Amino acid sequence: MSKSTFKYSFSLLHIDYVKLNNNWNFNNVISPYYRLYYIDDGTGTISNSSDKLILEPGYLYLIPSFTICNLNCEEYLSQYFIQFFEESPDGISLFNQNRNVMKLAATETDIVLIKKMLQNNPGRGINRSNNPKVYEKEAYYKEYQSLNNELKPHLKFENQGTLLLLISRFMNTTYFKQNTSQGTPSKILDTMSYVQLHLSENLTVAELAQRVNQNQDYFSKQFLIHTGQRPLNYIHEKKIERAQYLIATTNKSFLEIALDTGFSNLPHFSKIFKQIVSLTPGEYRLQNNQLK
């Protein structure tokens, strides 16, 4: 009998209840972590180049990691927010093929879960200066890990369970395009995992095709059919996602990050980064500092 194992886990970064005004106005936000909002008063918007969602009371909103969007409040907005990281052994996100902002009506259970999680995790808001010189980014992200490690075992389980319950609500909506592995050939799935685990290397499509004993053209066509992306685009996207994480969580130079993600030089890294993120690495780091 076949046995499937749920491989995804999530760890808390921030949780808080905040009241916002027109200072909450950020464009081209792309974070290496998830954002979940519950709105209880006021209005705002989450938008991208093709769509706009109204932030309104009584609704939940989920922004998967590495989803580009604009955040805006013209007058007043109060929200509960949870920010959290995702971990999976093969590096493939649960929302790998669904980088969309999702919205659904909150239930009483959702609200109770969020408020209980906030009560269980006091002092986990973003209470920091906007000036990046005030704090070290690497130490800042290590801090959230240490806070999670210090939690009592039953609270660790409760946090994990709450995040899973809240995320599961979005997996049963029309926004979520279920990425079923049953229809994806094992060689494609294996290649996706291999890419994630070897982002520091100079990966080529020819090498990936040879690794699974397929003709390069056939491999590329199959990869496009089953993932919606050409292999080289997938490689670049995952390398840049890793670069975004390193920019957000460390003080490494852009050259160091370029080398860490398998680019041979900084100009090529910067060019691909701008193509995918629509920002230069410097603009992305500045924006990330402003969001803290």
pLDDT digits (tens), the chain, 292 positions: 445 556 788 999 899 999 999 989 888 787 888 999 999 999 999 997 778 999 999 999 999 988 888 899 999 999 999 999 888 766 677 887 677 899 999 999 999 999 999 999 998 887 653 333 333 345 556 677 788 888 899 999 999 999 999 999 998 766 565 444 455 788 887 888 788 878 899 999 999 999 999 999 999 999 999 888 899 999 999 999 889 888 887 889 999 999 999 999 999 999 999 999 888 999 988 877 766 5
Would you give the distance in Å from CA 72 to the centre of its chain? 19
> What angle (nearest 5°) sits at the alpha carbon of residue 195, between those of residues 192 and 199?
150
Q: Where are the alpha helices (DSSP H) in the chain?
A: 108-120, 137-150, 153-170, 186-197, 205-211, 216-227, 231-249, 254-260, 266-277, 281-291
- Sorted by sequence, the CB contacts under 8 Å of residue 269 that are 6+ apart come out as 243, 254, 257, 258, 261, 263, 281
Domains and CATH numbers, the chain: 9-170 (2.60.120.10), 181-291 (1.10.10.60)
What secondary structure does DSSP assign to 130-151, as a single string? Answer: S-GGGS-HHHHHHHHHHHHHHS
